[in-house]
């Protein structure tokens, strides 16, 4: 299935009156998302894509990028 390797479809969610969504339990379990965790939400206007990352994962990505930039100097 190539394109679906390491990609998951967890179903659909509805946006509530206050703009809230519930992340499906299977997704919370798979990515170890717990109550109180901070998530970072990115958007891509051109394709109307939303991406959600755990804050600690985003921090790790940012640190890796900074380390790579330091190596280039």
CATH number of the CATH domain containing 38: 2.10.260.10
pTM above threshold 0.95: no
Report yes or no: 42 and 48 within 8 Å, Cβ to Cβ.
no
Mean pLDDT for the stretch of residues 1-23: 88
Q: What's the domain range around 21? A: 2-72
Predicted pLDDT of residue 10: 93
Average predicted confidence (pLDDT) for the chain = 90
Mean pLDDT for the stretch of residues 28-47: 94
Mean pLDDT for the stretch of residues 33-57: 92
Domain count of the fold of the chain = 1
- Strand ranges for the chain from DSSP E: 39-44, 49-54
């Amino acid at each position: 299935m190539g394109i679906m390797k390491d990609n998951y479809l967890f179903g659909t969610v509805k946006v509530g009156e206050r703009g809230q969504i519930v992340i499906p339990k299977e997704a919370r379990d798979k990515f170890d998302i717990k109550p109180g965790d901070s998530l970072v939400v990115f958007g891509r206007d051109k394709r109307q894509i939303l991406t959600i990352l755990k804050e600690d994962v985003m921090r790790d990505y940012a640190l890796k990028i900074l380390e790579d930039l330091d190596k280039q100097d």
